[in-house]
Amino acid sequence: MKAIRFVNFAIAAALTVVVNTGFSNGQAARTSDAPQPLRVVSGSSGSANSMIEQGKYLTDAGNCISCHTRAGAAAFSGGEPFVTKWGTIYSSNITPDEGTGIGNWTVEDFRRAMHDGLAPGGRHLFPAFPYTSFTRVSDADVDAIYAYLRTLQPVRYTPPADSFVFRQRWGMVFWNLMFFRAQRFQPDPRQSQEWNRGAYLVGGLGHCDACHSPRNFFMAEVASRAYSGGTLQETVQGGRVRPWSAVNLTSARTGLAAWSVDDLAKYLESGFCLRAGVFGPMSDVVDNSLRYLSTPDVHAVAVYLKSLPPLQSSEAPVPEAAVRAGAKIYSDHCQECHMSSGRGGLFSAPPLAASAVVQADDPASLINIILYGPDAPKDVSSGGWQTMMPYADDLNDVQIAAVSNYVRGSWNNRGSEVTPAEVAGQR
C-alpha cells in the first residue's frame, strides 16, 4: 500500500498555512542523539548476523518498495506519482545510482534522511517519506537498511519534477518546528519484550500511525487520537484517486474490540481471518510487507495493537429512520452472503457486525467496496469467501447511502449517517 499517500496533500496544506501565517518556534528540543535500545532481529531464517539480510528484512518491514516503485519499473527506482488537490509529488530513486539515486550518499546522509527528514545539503524532505515515524528507528537498523540498498542494481532514472507547492521545501522548516520531534524509540520497562518489539515496529518502520490517525488543521497527526482512524488518498477502479478510510486500531467498539490477538496476527500475516479480508490500500501492506515478517514479529505487532486503549468516536449514530430505509436493499443484495445477522458465512462473506471498516468515522472505504468491490492482493488468499460484485452500475447514490446506513446502524454497530453526496464523491 502506498500507505502514506495522504501525507503528501497533508503537508501541502500545512505548508500553505504555516508559510502564510509565520508561526514561531513552539517545538520542544529535538533529541536526535537519543539512545537506541531495541533492535529488530531478522525473521526466521536464522541469518540475523548478516547486516544485508537484516536490511532486506527491515526494508520489507517498512514497505519501502510500494512507494518507491512506479508501475512496470525496476524496484526502488522511484517515480511513483502521488496525486493531490495541490499537485503531484513523485517518489525518489533509492537505488545506488550515483547520478539519480542515493549512490553518493554516505550512511550519515541516510541517517539524517531517516531520522531528521533532511537530504544531503540540508534539503528538506516532505513526510510523504515518513521520517516522522522513521525517526524512531535505531541507528543499527537504519545502517542495515542502507547496507541492503547499496546492494541493489543501480538504475539511472530521474523522477518527473514535483508540482509547484511540493518544490517549496523551505516551508518545511516551520512545519517541523511545530509538529516534528526527532527521537529514537525507547522501550517501556513496564511492558514485555514482545510488547516493546511490537511498539517499535508499529511506530517506526511500520509507520501505521501515518494512515490510522486523524489530522489537525495543519494536517499533522493528532497525538491524543493516535491510531483511532484516519483518511488517505488512493486509487479506485479506473485509476481515479479517491479517499479511503483507515480503520480505528484501538480497542474501541468501532475498532478492534471484537478481535483477538490471534485474529489480528493471522489477518496481518495472511490478509485473511474470520473477521475480515484485506482489500484496498491495505492490500499493498500485506502483499509487499507484512507477509514477509517473521511470525514472532507479526504476533508482537498484534500484541501491541491490542493493548491500545479504546478511543471511541463521538459522532452521532445513524438515525433509526435512516437504518430502516436501507433494510430492503440489504435483503435484496447483501443478505444472501452476509446473512440477516450480519455475521457473514464461512464460505460466503466476512461479517459486517462489529466490523471496523463498516463503523469507521469516515465511511469512504465502505462506500468504495460497495461501488467497486474488493481488490484483494494478488498473492493473498481470500479464505474461500466469494468475490463481492461491484454495485456502481446497479445501485444509485441514494440506494448505496441507504444500505450503508443500514449496516452502520444494525447489529449493535455504531457509525454516523452516510449521505448520497458522499457516495457521489466516491464515484
Q: What is the pLDDT of residues 182-211, one digit of tens each?
A: 999 999 999 999 999 999 999 999 999 999
Distance CA 170, CA 414 (A): 43
pLDDT value at 11 more than 70: no
What contacts 335, CB < 8 A, 6 or more positions away? Answer: none
Give the model's pLDDT for residue 381: 56
Ordered by start, the domain boundaries in the chain are 1-30+48-195, 320-426
The model's pLDDT over 268-295, given as tens digits with 9 standing for 90+, comes to: 999 999 999 999 999 999 999 999 999 9
What contacts 162, CB < 8 A, 6 or more positions away? Answer: 87, 88, 89, 90
Grouping H, G, I as helix, E, B as strand and the rest as coil, residue 233 is strand
Give the model's pLDDT for residue 21: 30
C-alpha cell at 271: 490478509
The model's pLDDT over 122-142, given as tens digits with 9 standing for 90+, comes to: 999 988 899 999 999 999 999
Asked whether the beta carbons of 335 and 348 are under 8 A apart, the reply is no
Give the model's pLDDT for residue 296: 98
pLDDT value at 15 more than 60: no
The model's pLDDT over 366-420, given as tens digits with 9 standing for 90+, comes to: 999 999 998 766 656 556 688 899 999 999 999 999 999 999 999 999 999 999 9
User: How far is C-alpha 53 from the geometric centre of its chain's CA atoms?
Assistant: 25
Residue from 116, 155, 109 nearest 136 by CA: 116
pLDDT-based confidence at residue 238 (cuts at 50, 70, 90)? confident
What sign for the dihedral angle of Cα 332, 337, 338, 343? positive
Between 4 and 383, residue with greater pLDDT: 383
Q: How is domain 320-426 classified at the CATH fold level?
A: Cytochrome Bc1 Complex; Chain D, domain 2 (1.10.760)
The model's pLDDT over 338-352, given as tens digits with 9 standing for 90+, comes to: 999 999 988 889 999
C-alpha cell at 59: 526494508
Give the model's pLDDT for residue 2: 52
Give the model's pLDDT for residue 138: 98
pLDDT-based confidence at residue 6 (cuts at 50, 70, 90)? very low
Cα distances from 7 to residues 11, 136, 283, 392, in angstroms, run: 6, 18, 18, 28
What sign for the dihedral angle of Cα 111, 117, 122, 125? positive
Q: How would you classify residue 312: left for phi > 0, otherwise alpha for psi between -120 and 50, otherwise beta? A: beta
The model's pLDDT over 28-72, given as tens digits with 9 standing for 90+, comes to: 333 333 333 334 343 334 444 699 999 999 999 999 999 999 999
Residue from 263, 269, 261 nearest 291 by CA: 269
Give the model's pLDDT for residue 53: 96
DSSP of 247-279? PP-SSSTTTTTT--HHHHHHHHHHSEETTEE--
DSSP of 351-376? --TT-HHHH-SSTHHHHHHHHH----
pLDDT value at 266 more than 90: yes
Give the model's pLDDT for residue 22: 30
H or E stretch at 337: helix 335-338
The model's pLDDT over 89-124, given as tens digits with 9 standing for 90+, comes to: 999 999 999 999 999 999 999 999 999 999 999 999
Mean pLDDT of 319-332: 98
Residue from 16, 199, 34, 220 nearest 127 by CA: 220
Give the model's pLDDT for residue 87: 82
The overall average pLDDT reported for the chain is 88
Give the model's pLDDT for residue 19: 32
Give the model's pLDDT for residue 376: 65
What contacts 388, CB < 8 A, 6 or more positions away? Answer: 337, 349, 369, 373, 374
Q: What is the pTM of this model?
A: 0.87
Residue given cell 449496516 in the structure block: 407
C-alpha cell at 134: 522513521
Cα distances from 114 to residues 104, 184, 326, in angstroms, run: 16, 11, 48
